[in-house]
């Protein structure tokens, strides 16, 4: 008897249909966790296998941080030590924004439009597994980005932060990336697959440029930074790093100096919940 | 023997704005049957299935899956789903797709077994995005059965499949039914419903306009068709009172009649040279067309 025949005979004896009465189909907690893990694992894998997604988000933060944050700004500031940790914090904020906003915004819009979300909702996928898997993917990307930035900051940028500061900034940025997941999810639940990248960029670019990440804003227009959620995450990490914002370094104390850590945390949580709840409501309505 | 009811819609109505999608619909799907839900586009098939899958709530009436709300995950652990318009993640390989969906079920089969049942082993390591249309349908079928469902929802399952793959899918479906599972099939291929279904329901304007076994459905349309080669003229035959319509095409005379036996007897009497006599009973396709046309009038 050949191997194939044996395999087929084994299969023939298997039942295709479930035995148990489905009126009480319970799943052990271990199996439920396994389902969550499998979903997250494959979400991470598919994001890594999509070069148009993975390469820009892994490469851009480190390349720009080293070229602009370390070499260009370093030479322009003639070695001003105050700007070194600021650059690290700013490029870290930039780094963790992209995967959440684009990962949720584009993937959710596409999967919604192509019927995958509908299929997953019909299947017995554990509640929230879909969103949690994408959050895990975003945090994995954010973690790898942070590690590459820290390595560059330590060995090339000489940012002179303590291990504790690096760890705390990483933790804050990982949790802070959920803020961008929430905004991305909101866009993904409303926009079509074709328009999602445009809407994500419409939120992403002003948030970065008006958040004081790349250049200082004059005092007269600094209040606009309060409308950028990225500003609060960045400001919080500047406190941890004991560093000043670009505005502060260029123009001294201004309106944005009054954003306290408590205010930053409160705004980050509030904005995350606001867009998260709006998106969840929308997801429930999608049939 | 009375079979257990696995899914039901009781007096269900659903509107989308001014459009009435379902209008007091009642459906029951019992264990061990293949139930085909037929209807023209916009008849309410997709909405009816959406309600049973818990994707939307009914405006009035109840939708039950294994006696529970379809919104409960425990109820949905007994179902498998194959949707016509669901594009899976293109970067994931076939084995990975099956492993992911299998992880949702308490007693799922191994990915290898699901692939063997659906003859997709050779595709195991290929990214889903690189498969042909027919291969994608086979993989979606593997996902639908990998959780050993007691109730399987299939939407146009054989679109894009070659004949061999279609036969294979049909035999797997028959096996599932023989093991006591139920299958809800929505299809535009009426010959598929005719070949597989134990029971058929035809929907129009959100209501069931006819339901029963395939034979019962075909009996709803009493007319039959006779084809033959004859020297009799079309005008002459048209005057016979049993004849509903007659025409001549390249195969010969095509006569539609209620009482075919009387017409055949008269044909044989009047034309000694009659040849190639054939009688066709109305198929499900003709029944479907007639029923939906009547409903539209």
> What confidence tens digit (pLDDT) does each residue in B73-129 have?
999 999 999 998 889 999 999 999 999 999 999 989 999 999 998 999 999 999 999
Is the pLDDT confidence value at A1 over 60?
no
pLDDT at A8: 40
pLDDT at A13: 54
Say whether A119 and B86 touch across the interface (CB within 8 A): yes
Neighbours of A36 (CB within 10 A): 18
ipTM for the complex shown: 0.86
- Higher pLDDT: A202 or A25? It is A202
Is the pLDDT confidence value at A20 over 50?
no
| Residue to substitute from B16, B91, B98, interface A, most A β-carbons within 10 A | B91
Is the pLDDT confidence value at B160 over 90?
no
Q: Using a CB-CB distance cutoff of 8 angstroms, which residues of chain B are in contact with residue A127?
A: 73
pLDDT at B221: 66
A22 → closest Cβ in B50, B66, B116: B66
**Looking at chain A, which residue has its C-alpha nearest residue B105?**
A124
Q: Which of A93-97, A157-161, B39-43 has the lowest mean pLDDT?
A: B39-43
- Higher pLDDT: A147 or A82? It is A147
Q: Using a CB-CB distance cutoff of 8 angstroms, which residues of chain A are in contact with residue B53?
A: 121-122
Q: In what order do the strands lie in the sheet with B182-186?
A: B79-82, B151-155, B182-186, B34-39, B199-204, B207-212
Helix, strand, coil content of chain A in percent (nearest 5): 80, 0, 20
Strand partners, B278: B227
Say whether A24 and B74 touch across the interface (CB within 8 A): yes
Tell me the pLDDT tens digit for each residue of B215-257. Answer: 887 777 666 789 999 989 999 999 998 888 888 988 889 898 8
Instruction: Compute the average pLDDT of residues B145-167.
Output: 91
Confidence label for A168 from pLDDT (cuts 50, 70 and 90)? very high
Region label for B2, one of left (φ > 0), alpha (ψ between -120 and 50) or beta (otherwise):
beta
- Give B93→chain A minimum CA distance, Å: 9
Is the pLDDT confidence value at A19 over 60?
no
Confidence label for A286 from pLDDT (cuts 50, 70 and 90)? low
- Give A19→chain B minimum CA distance, Å: 8
Confidence label for B282 from pLDDT (cuts 50, 70 and 90)? low
Report which listed range, A86-90, B3-7, B179-183, B221-225, is most confident: A86-90
- Higher pLDDT: B70 or B281? It is B70
Residues 223-262 of B with CB under 8 A from A: none
Query: Considering Cα of B200, then B202, then B208, then B214, what sign does the dihedral take?
Result: negative
Query: Considering Cα of B128, then B132, then B133, then B137, what sign does the dihedral take?
Result: negative
Residues 197-216 of B with CB under 8 A from A: none
Q: Taking every pair of C-alpha atoms in chain B, what is the biggest distance, in angstroms?
A: 71
Say whether A25 and B145 touch across the interface (CB within 8 A): no
Task: Give the C-alpha separation, A88 to A148, whole Å.
Answer: 11
- Give B175→chain A minimum CA distance, Å: 8
Q: Token pair of A211, please?
A: 């958040």
Say whether B81 and A124 touch across the interface (CB within 8 A): no
Say whether B54 and A16 touch across the interface (CB within 8 A): no
Residue-level length of chain B: 297
Share of chain A above pLDDT 70, in %: 91
Q: In what order do the strands lie in the sheet with B5-16?
A: B19-30, B5-16, B60-65
Task: Give the C-alpha separation, B6 to A23, whole Å.
Answer: 9
pLDDT at A15: 66
B87 → closest Cβ in A25, A114, A123: A114
Q: Is A50 on the interface with B (CB under 8 A)?
A: yes
Say whether A15 and B150 touch across the interface (CB within 8 A): no
Q: Is B83 on the interface with A (CB under 8 A)?
A: yes
- Give A172→chain B minimum CA distance, Å: 31
Say whether A122 and B81 touch across the interface (CB within 8 A): yes
Tell me the pLDDT tens digit for each residue of B52-89. Answer: 999 999 999 999 999 999 999 999 999 999 998 889 99
Tell me the pLDDT tens digit for each residue of A71-107. Answer: 998 888 877 888 999 999 999 999 999 999 999 999 9
- Cβ–Cβ under 8 Å, residues A225 and A212: yes
- Cβ–Cβ under 8 Å, residues A136 and A40: yes
pLDDT at A79: 72
Instruction: Compute the average pLDDT of residues B258-270.
Output: 89
Say whether B92 and A35 touch across the interface (CB within 8 A): no
Tell me the pLDDT tens digit for each residue of A243-269. Answer: 989 888 888 888 888 899 999 999 999
Is the pLDDT confidence value at A226 over 90?
yes
Is the pLDDT confidence value at A210 over 60?
yes
Is the pLDDT confidence value at B6 over 70?
yes
Residue A283 DSSP SS3: helix
B92 → closest Cβ in A8, A42, A119: A42
Residues 53-82 of B with CB under 8 A from A: 53-56, 66-68, 73-79, 81
pLDDT at A36: 97
Share of chain A above pLDDT 90, in %: 74
pLDDT at A124: 95
CA distances from A132 to A127, A178, B278 (A): 9, 10, 64
Confidence label for A2 from pLDDT (cuts 50, 70 and 90)? very low
pTM for the complete prediction?
Answer: 0.84
Q: Which of A228-232, A283-287, B75-79, B272-276 has the lowest mean pLDDT?
A: A283-287
Q: Using a CB-CB distance cutoff of 8 angstroms, which residues of chain A are in contact with residue B179?
A: 15-17
Say whether B77 and A49 touch across the interface (CB within 8 A): no
pLDDT at A9: 41
Q: What is the mean pLDDT of chain A?
A: 89
Residue B78 DSSP code: T
Task: Give the C-alpha separation, A34 to B144, whole Å.
Answer: 20
Kind and range of the H or E run holding B207:
strand B207-212
pLDDT at A44: 96
Is the pLDDT confidence value at A176 over 60?
yes
- Higher pLDDT: B189 or A217? It is A217
- Give B239→chain A minimum CA distance, Å: 56
- Distance from chain centroid for Cα B45: 11
Residue contacts between A and B (CB atoms, under 8 Å): 132
């Amino acid at each position: 008897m050949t191997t194939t025949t044996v395999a087929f005979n084994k299969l023939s004896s298997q039942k295709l249909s479930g035995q148990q009465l489905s009126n009480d189909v319970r799943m052990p907690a271990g199996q439920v966790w396994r389902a969550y893990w499998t979903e997250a694992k494959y979400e991470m894998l598919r994001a890594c296998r999509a070069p148009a997604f993975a390469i820009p988000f892994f490469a851009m933060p480190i390349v720009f941080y080293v070229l602009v944050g370390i070499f260009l700004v370093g030479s322009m500031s003639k070695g001003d030590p105050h700007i070194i940790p600021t650059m690290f914090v700013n490029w870290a904020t930039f780094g963790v924004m992209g995967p959440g906003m684009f990962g949720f915004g584009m993937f959710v819009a596409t999967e919604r439009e192509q019927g995958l979300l509908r299929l997953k909702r019909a299947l017995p996928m554990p509640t929230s597994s879909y969103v949690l898997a994408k959050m895990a993917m975003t945090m994995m990307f954010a973690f790898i980005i942070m590690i590459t930035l820290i390595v560059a900051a330590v060995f090339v940028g000489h940012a002179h932060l303590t291990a504790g500061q690096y760890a705390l900034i990483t933790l804050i940025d990982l949790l802070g990336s959920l803020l961008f997941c929430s905004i991305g999810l909101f866009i993904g639940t409303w926009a079509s697959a074709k328009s999602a990248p445009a809407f994500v960029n419409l939120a992403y670019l002003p948030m970065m440029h008006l958040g004081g990440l790349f250049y200082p804003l004059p005092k007269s227009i600094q209040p606009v930074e309060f409308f950028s959620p990225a500003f609060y995450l960045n400001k919080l990490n500047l406190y941890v790093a004991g560093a000043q914002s670009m505005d502060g370094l260029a123009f001294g104390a201004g309106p944005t100096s009054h954003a306290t850590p408590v205010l930053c945390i409160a705004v980050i949580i509030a904005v995350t919940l606001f867009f998260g709840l709006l998106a969840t409501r929308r997801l429930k309505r999608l049939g | 023997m009375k079979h257990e009811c696995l899914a039901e819609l009781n007096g269900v109505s659903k509107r989308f704005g001014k459009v009435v999608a379902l209008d007091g619909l009642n459906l029951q799907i019992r264990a061990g049957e293949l139930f085909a839900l037929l209807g023209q586009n916009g008849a309410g098939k997709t909405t009816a299935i959406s309600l049973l899958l818990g994707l939307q709530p009914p405006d009035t009436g109840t939708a039950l899956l294994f006696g529970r709300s379809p919104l409960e995950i425990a109820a949905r652990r007994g179902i498998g789903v194959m949707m016509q318009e669901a594009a899976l993640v293109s970067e994931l390989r076939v084995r990975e797709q099956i492993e992911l969906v299998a992880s949702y079920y308490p007693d799922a089969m191994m990915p290898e077994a699901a692939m063997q049942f659906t003859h997709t082993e050779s595709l195991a390591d290929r990214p889903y995005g690189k498969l042909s249309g027919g291969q994608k349908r086979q993989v979606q079928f593997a996902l639908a059965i990998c959780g050993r469902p007691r109730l399987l929802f299939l939407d146009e399952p054989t679109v894009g499949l070659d004949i061999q793959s279609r036969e294979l899918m049909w035999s797997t479906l028959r096996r599932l039914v023989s093991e006591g599972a139920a299958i809800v099939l929505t299809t535009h291929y009426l010959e598929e419903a005719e070949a597989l279904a134990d029971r058929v329901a035809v929907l129009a304007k959100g209501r069931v306009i006819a339901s029963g076994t395939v034979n019962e459905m075909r009996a709803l349309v009493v007319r039959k068709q006779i084809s033959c080669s004859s020297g009799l003229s079309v005008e002459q035959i048209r005057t016979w009172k049993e004849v509903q319509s007659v025409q001549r095409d390249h195969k010969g005379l095509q006569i539609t009649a209620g009482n075919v036996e009387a017409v055949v007897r008269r044909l044989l009497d009047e034309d000694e040279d009659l040849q190639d006599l054939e009688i066709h009973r109305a198929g499900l396709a003709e029944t479907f067309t007639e029923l939906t046309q009547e409903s539209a009038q």
